[in-house]
Amino acid sequence: MNKLLLFWLVIILPTPFLFAERIDGPANVRDKPNGKALFSLNDSVKVICNSFENGWYHIGVYVYFPAKSLQQQTLAKGTVLLDKNGNEIGHLLSSMELNYHEPDPSGETWGTYLTAYTYKGNIRPDSFQEYQIEQLLNSPEYLKISDFNAFLAEHEGQQDEDWEDGIKTFTTLENWYSDRERVRLLFENNTLVAIFHLRPIDSNNYFQESFKLNNVNVHLSYPKYLSLFKKDAYKQAYMEKLKGEF
C-alpha cells in the first residue's frame, strides 16, 4: 500500500484555490521526482506550486472524493477526485492511505489536501503570477493600475491602505493558505514605479534598476526612486516596512 504524506491544515478555508497555478494535462503526479505515479489531474486543475528542483515541482491540491470510497482510511486505485462543486478533476493511480480528511457539509464527500511531485511541463507557464507580470512589462508605455485589473482579480490582489502618502500599492499572496506576500506593486499617480517580489521576474527593460534587498527582489523606475534607494537609510526603512510581509 502506498502511503502519501499529507499537509495537515489547522483551518481549512471554505473556497480553496481562488488563485493558483494550473495543470497542463492530463498530468501524472508522483511520490518523488521520476517516482511512482500516485494520481492523475485533468487539464486546467488549480494546484499550488511550492518548491522547484531539477525540473520538478512539489505541488499541493485540495480534492474531494465520495465518502463511500474511503475504507479503513484508504482510497482504492481508480477513486475519482472531485472539486468542491462535484466536478471530476482526476483519479487515483495507486491506492492511498490518508492521514487527514474532513467531511463537507453534505456528508456525501470528504476533502483532503494532497502533496506530491509533477514535472515542470505539466504546469501551464501562463498561470504563474510572474509570467503574467512579465507579459505586461513588455508594454512600450508606462503601465497603469487598470492594466493590472485582470491580474489582481485572478490572484486575489489586495490594496494596502497603510503605505506612504501618494503611493498606491497592491499585494498578492504566495498561496491560498499563507499570508506571505509574493508580489507587491507600487503605483505613483496611477503609474507603476516599482515591484517587490519573491520569485524571479524578468522586467524586460521596463525598469531602470533592479537589485535585491535580503530575499526580496526589487525593480525600480523614475530617477527619484533610484536616488532614494541608493541611500542605505532609505533601503533600511523600506525593509523595516516589508519585514514580516515577504
Give residue-wise pLDDT tens across range 108-130: 888 999 999 999 999 999 999 99
Q: Give yes or no: residues 17 and 117 share one domain.
A: yes
The last residue of a domain, from among 61, 94, 124: 124
What average pLDDT is seen over the chain?
Answer: 80
Considering only CA atoms, which of 27, 71, 70 is closest in space to residue 49? 27
C-alpha cell at 132: 503574467
Bridge partners, 213 (sequence order): 216
Q: Give yes or no: residues 16 and 120 share one domain.
A: yes
Q: Give yes or no: residues 48 and 141 share one domain.
A: no
Q: Give yes or no: residues 14 and 119 share one domain.
A: yes
Q: Identify the top-confidence range among 122-136, 190-204, 216-230.
A: 122-136
Predicted local distance difference test score (pLDDT) of residue 28: 97
> How many Å apart are CA 147 and CA 32, to the nearest integer?
39
| Pure H helices in the chain | 129-136, 149-154, 223-229, 232-242
What does the pLDDT average to over 231-242? 55
Domain membership of residue 149 as a residue range: 128-242
Q: Give yes or no: residues 16 and 76 share one domain.
A: yes
Q: For the chain, what is the domain count?
A: 2
The tally of CA atoms less than 13 A away on the side-chain side of residue 122 is: 25
Q: Name the pTM for this structure.
A: 0.75
Predicted local distance difference test score (pLDDT) of residue 163: 62
Task: Place 209 in a pLDDT band, splitting at 50, 70 and 90.
Answer: confident
β-strand pairing of 2-3 with 96-97 = parallel
Q: For residue 217, what are the CA distances in angstroms to 123, 172, 174, 200?
A: 24, 15, 14, 7
Q: Give yes or no: residues 146 and 96 share one domain.
A: no
Give residue-wise pLDDT tens across range 61-97: 999 999 899 888 899 999 999 998 999 999 999 999 9
Is pLDDT larger for residue 94 or for residue 7? Answer: 94
The last residue of a domain, from among 63, 92, 124: 124
Q: Give yes or no: residues 118 and 7 share one domain.
A: yes
Q: Give yes or no: residues 37 and 56 share one domain.
A: yes
What does the pLDDT average to over 201-207? 82
Q: Give yes or no: residues 82 and 118 share one domain.
A: yes
Q: Give yes or no: residues 170 and 183 share one domain.
A: yes
> How many Å apart are CA 214 and CA 99, to the nearest integer?
37
pLDDT at 107 over 70: yes
The last residue of a domain, from among 62, 91, 124: 124
Q: Coil, strand, or helix at residue 69?
A: helix
Q: Give yes or no: residues 133 and 119 share one domain.
A: no
**Lowest mean pLDDT across 10-14, 29-33, 122-126:** 10-14
pLDDT at 2 over 70: no
Q: Identify the top-confidence range among 67-76, 97-106, 215-224.
A: 67-76
Q: Give yes or no: residues 91 and 159 share one domain.
A: no
